[in-house]
Amino acid sequence: MSPDEKARLKDLDRRLVWHPFTQMQSYASEDPVIIARADGVYLEDIDGNRYLDGYSSMWCNVHGHRVREIDDAVRGQLDQVAHSTLLGLSNVPAIRLAEKLVEITPRGLSHVFYSDTGACAVEIALKIAFQYWRQKPDPKPERTSFLSLEKSYHGDTIGAMSVGNIDLFHEAYGPLLFSTLTAPSPHPYRCTFCAGDSGCNQGCLRAVEEILERDAHRIAAFIVEPLIQGAGGMLVHPDGYLKGIADLCRDHDVLLIVDEIATGFGRTGAMFACGKEGVAPDILCLGKGITGGYLPVAATLATGEIFDAFLGDDTEGRTFFHGHTYTGNPLGCAAALAAIRRFETHDVLASLRPRIELLARGLDRIGTLAHVGDVRQCGFIAGVELVADKPGGRPYPPTDGIGASVCGEARKRGLLIRPLGDTIVLMPPLVISNHDLETLLEIVYESIGFVTNQS
């Protein structure tokens, strides 16, 4: 590519492309990174700079880039059909993927509704739960509300934002959102319940119990990210919390929606985070890693009991009136089948265990830095929280932009990562080599030290 064409692309990018979660006024003054190609766990921009993909291209790339099996599956499907609607028709990859998803997800989930983003998968789950209570054999139409956790994030559509609780992302849209109930988020580093205790006192779980005892009669479902809250700051829940929530929902006849969009497909060291505590939800939301980061496919799985509540004569109005143009897209489903198959043929989860341990050792070293307040890890997901005062846990002023500065420094050193405020997120592809993982950890260590020593 000629220098003139590179300059033209950068100019067009600044002037025409509106980037998500990006302040465009600042972006317009930067030299943009425009990705041109990729291979394995590395991305390369139009200037020839190579970057280690430390956040899996927004948490979705599981097996690396340009994976032969997935490439071949997509090319093979192109020779058949690229797209055909699922509204009243079906296609071969969508059927086969549904069979595979029912096989590998927690017991009882027997029906698959496709969409194309995680937020849509959540939106679908909320609508299914809402409609279910009106159509079940003993209807309870008064169950119109939803319960979610503080600092939760489930996507950027209206329903998903309504059950989200991050002011930075959601406050501006308050007048558009419907009212929900909120339970305290487990946050061991800054826990209000355990402040005076040496260990977890399960106060956050008792708070959920109190809410359900008081309000279960009007709650359609409790939606939760299992084991770890992602965009809320990589908050790792105490052992047993998810199982405790599941038991409480069952005891109070409240549906449990588990959002595994970020945690599914090996991220926590298990295929699904639910499985680590033996939890089988009523509704499960999947996305991101389902295609290995190739194509936009998401899925919402429900139990047979829920599905049956939507059956009836065409005139009864029990149909689930929801759908997307690209629902069940054959190319995406073919990619997903190949990505899931690779877990089996390459024994991905077993081979991941040593890298989880290597990540833990590297995080221990990062945790010794003077301005690292807390290090959190759940399988192959990690968050490093930066603080102005380590002994007291005092945060940096938001205006300092310390997290963004660290990620900017890491980029100069050849690593792409993104912050959540002043929490640095590490979520590389599951197949990263030990050598590349050590490189990632070293760059993070050096970047944090460099930036915080300058602040």
Q: Does domain 33-66+347-454 have CATH number 3.30.70.3270?
A: no
Position 454 confidence tier, pLDDT thresholds 50, 70, 90: confident
* Mean of pLDDT values over 136-150: 97
Taking the domains of the chain in order of start, what are their residue ranges?
33-66+347-454, 70-345
pLDDT at site 191: 79
pLDDT at site 23: 94
User: 195-244 pLDDT, tens per residue?
Assistant: 656 677 688 999 999 999 999 999 999 999 999 999 999 999 999 999 99
| Residue 193, SS3 per DSSP | coil
pLDDT at site 73: 98
| Res 335 pLDDT > 70 | yes
pLDDT at site 455: 63
pLDDT at site 432: 98
Give the Cα separation of 47 and 356 in Å (integer).
33
The pTM of this model reads 0.96
The two tokens of residue 174 are: 């308050």
pLDDT at site 136: 96
Cα three-residue angle 353-359-364, rounded to 5 degrees: 130
C-beta separation of 36 from 45 below 8 A: yes
Q: At what angle do helices 434-454 and 402-412 cross, to 10 degrees?
A: 130
* Mean of pLDDT values over 310-326: 94
Q: Residue length, the chain?
A: 455
Q: Other CB atoms closer than 10 Å to residue 278's CB: what's the count?
A: 11
Average pLDDT, the chain: 96
pLDDT at site 42: 98
Give the Cα separation of 452 and 455 in Å (integer).
5
Q: Other CB atoms closer than 10 Å to residue 324's CB: what's the count?
A: 17
Looking at per-residue pLDDT, the higher value among 91 and 187 belongs to 91
Query: Burial of 267 by CB count in 10 Å (0-12 exposed, 13-18 middle, 19+ buried)?
Result: buried
pLDDT at site 198: 61
The two tokens of residue 405 are: 């500065």
pLDDT at site 137: 95
| Res 92 pLDDT > 90 | yes
User: 8-63 pLDDT, tens per residue?
Assistant: 999 999 999 999 999 999 999 999 999 999 999 999 999 999 999 999 999 999 99
Question: What is the CATH class of 70-345?
Answer: alpha beta
One DSSP character per residue, 31-89 reads: ----EEEEEBTEEEETTS-EEEETTHHHHT-SS-BS-HHHHHHHHHHHTT-S----SS-
Position 87 confidence tier, pLDDT thresholds 50, 70, 90: very high
* Mean of pLDDT values over 425-450: 98
